[in-house]
């Protein structure tokens, strides 16, 4: 951090002077090689500093600096070699929601009528759950629901992981990093440790569990996988996202956020294998994150004695809709692309209102975002796993032509947006 601050404040000449003093302490054989790297680094840092936009917020890019990612894009060999999904056996239909809404929640008739209208317009026709709806709606102690979470997260996660590795023609011992993603329960040791023991991963496989990133975490996991493979060329990263929102159902909570969540969210798991060995599949060129200022209350969970209670500000769709065009255009511009270059829009839907606002802001038709609507309608919002379900929908039903670009975007607590630029091969 200190070195980065020095580059930011000092002139090129000042930095070279200090660094050469440091190099004078090295053995003579090290100085020539070190100085070459020093000159290359200082020139790059100076160029990035001069090119960086002034007076406006930018998205964070790995490695630090908005303009470094163009080099990152050109040298990228990270590809999404395979995806897989897993769904629990029980389903909740729109008619089920209507039947149970008035029987489970103690709400006035007028509010119930309003909720029925929301159910009709939510575009969620069916969702999956680990238990039958009759058991799902029954109150249970936090300890009980969390034990259920551990059992079923491991089961669904293993199913998705095994399918994904089979599709990628890889053995578990060929995986170098496991990224596990979930926000709808709590477990230590984390999911990845359970999978290592059950599936035969190497004892020295790297582990990276994500637990507080919500709906954006699936996209963030893809970005972190690419970051790892840039540092470890030729490696393989397995991402496993498992979400069980049905275990967060709160029948005594009649807040608007809880009522909406009971209509939108479903259980499921997804996995993706990101390879650095040139495997066929969409390349991950670059990823960026944008965190909205002063937006902590927009989305999250409140952990109480009765379990997880969802927090969801009613203006989230409008907040994203107002900002998304600027964010996307700036992101694409930084990497030498424009809106017209994007042939695939892999968008986490959140809900129908959010996806509709994003379509309007980006000038997209429903045809261009149909995979997002399909997933929302058939399995609901699966939090972090949703973007991987939608990615698989594009891979299997709407693959792009080689060389064409796609943009993936997801949104989650923070409040943050995650963007990825992909290129089909």
Active site residues: 215
Rounded to the nearest 10°, the torsion over CA 165, 169, 174, 177 is -40
Cis before 415 (ω within 30): yes
| Nearest alpha carbon to residue 230 among 389, 68, 347, 49 | 68
Alpha-carbon torsion 142, 144, 150, 155, what sign? negative
Q: b/e per residue, 65-74, with b = 16+ CB within 10 A?
A: bbbbbbebbe
| Nearest alpha carbon to residue 286 among 336, 326, 237, 320 | 336
Q: How many Å from the N-terminal Cα to the C-terminal Cα in the chain?
A: 37
Cis before 129 (ω within 30): no
């Amino acid at each position: 951090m200190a070195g980065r601050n020095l580059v930011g404040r000092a002139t090129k000449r000042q930095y070279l002077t200090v660094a050469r003093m440091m190099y004078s302490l090295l053995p003579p054989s090290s100085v020539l090689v070190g100085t070459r790297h020093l000159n290359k680094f200082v020139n790059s840092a100076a160029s990035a500093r001069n090119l960086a936009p002034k007076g406006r917020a930018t998205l964070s890019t790995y490695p630090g600096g908005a303009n470094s990612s163009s080099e990152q894009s050109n040298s990228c060999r990270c590809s999404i070699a395979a995806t897989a999904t897993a769904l629990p056996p029980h389903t909740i239909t729109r008619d089920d929601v209507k039947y149970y809404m008035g029987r489970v929640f103690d709400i006035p008739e007028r509010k119930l009528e309003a909720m029925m209208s929301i159910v009709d317009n939510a575009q969620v026709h069916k969702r999956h759950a680990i238990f039958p709806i009759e058991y799902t709606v029954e109150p249970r102690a936090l300890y009980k629901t969390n034990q259920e979470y551990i059992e079923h997260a491991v089961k669904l996660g293993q199913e998705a992981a095994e399918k994904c590795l089979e599709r990628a023609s890889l053995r578990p011992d060929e995986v170098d990093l496991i990224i596990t993603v979930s926000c709808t329960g709590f477990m230590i040791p984390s999911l990845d440790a359970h999978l290592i023991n059950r599936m035969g991963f190497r004892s020295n496989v790297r582990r990276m569990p994500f637990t507080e990133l919500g709906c954006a975490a699936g996209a963030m996991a893809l970005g972190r996988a690419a970051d790892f493979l840039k540092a470890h060329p030729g490696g393989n990263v397995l991402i496993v996202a498992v979400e069980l929102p049905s275990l967060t159902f709160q029948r005594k909570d009649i807040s608007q956020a809880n009522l909406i969540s009971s209509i939108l969210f479903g259980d499921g798991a997804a996995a993706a294998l990101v390879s650095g060995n040139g495997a066929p599949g969409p390349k991950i060129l670059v990823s960026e994150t944008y965190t909205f200022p002063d937006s902590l209350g927009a989305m999250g969970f409140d952990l109480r004695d009765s379990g997880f209670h969802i927090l969801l500000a009613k203006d989230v769709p409008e907040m994203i809709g107002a900002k998304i065009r600027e964010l996307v255009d700036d992101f694409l511009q930084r990497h030498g692309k424009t809106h017209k270059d994007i042939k695939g829009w892999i968008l986490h839907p959140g809900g129908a209102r959010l996806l509709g606002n994003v379509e309007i802001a980006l000038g997209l038709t429903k045809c261009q975002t149909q995979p997002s609507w399909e997933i929302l309608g058939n399995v609901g919002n699966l939090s972090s796993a949703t973007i991987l379900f939608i990615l698989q929908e594009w891979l299997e039903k709407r693959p792009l032509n080689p060389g064409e670009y796609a943009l993936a975007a997801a949104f989650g607590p923070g409040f943050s947006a995650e963007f990825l630029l992909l290129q089909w091969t």
